Amino acid sequence: MTHSTVAGCLLFACTLGAAVLSGHDQRQPPQSSTKHDTLTTEQKQRLAQHFKAAFGRRTAERRQASTRLNASGVQFLASERQKVQAQNASIRGAIASLSSGGTNARFDAIEREARELSKRAATATGAEREAIDRRAAQLLSELLGGKPPGR
């Protein structure tokens, strides 16, 4: 048994046990042990070595699996961190473009007109209210960079 496993060692032990029991009548208790009915000291030592080796391999396999799992987790977190940093850079760029000199003036003009529309909407009639809503939607679209509102 050069490549033994726990199952192989167990099968070996069961085979030896079955060989011992097959020579006896099942209705009678086994006779006193003789030299051939029990495991020799050498067999016991080899069996113990095989069990120890199998358990050692099992422990090493668990350790390797744990290491691989940890490495996968670190790689995933690094990937997520890069995505977030890219999104942050994009948002910072958008903020910087909005903060440029010409954009601020246009933003201020839109804000002033929005305040005026809000005041007029408080006392507007139905038709006038529709016109105010249309203009507010245009201003919102302009703020969003040409995209329709709500998208």
pLDDT tens, 97-148?
A: 766 655 567 788 888 999 999 888 888 888 899 999 999 999 888 888 765 5
Residue 26 lies in a domain: no
Do residues 150 and 117 share a domain?
A: yes
Query: Which tens digits make up the pLDDT trace of 1-36?
Result: 444 566 665 666 666 655 544 554 444 555 555 555
Residue 35 lies in a domain: no
Query: Which tens digits make up the pLDDT trace of 62-104?
Result: 999 999 999 999 999 999 999 999 999 888 887 777 666 555 6
Domain count, the chain: 2
Q: What is the 3-state secondary structure (H, E, C) of the chain?
A: CCCCCHHHHHHHHHHHHHHHHHCCCCCCCCCCCCCCCCCCHHHHHHHHHHHHHHHHHHHHHHHHHHHHHHHHHHHHHHHHHHHHHHHHHHHHHHHHHHCCHHHHHHHHHHHHHHHHHHHHHHHCCHHHHHHHHHHHHHHHHHHCCCCCCCC
Q: What pLDDT score does 91 carry?
A: 86
Do residues 122 and 144 share a domain?
A: yes
Do residues 95 and 112 share a domain?
A: no
Do residues 52 and 113 share a domain?
A: no
Q: State which residues form the domain around 135.
A: 101-151
Do residues 135 and 67 share a domain?
A: no
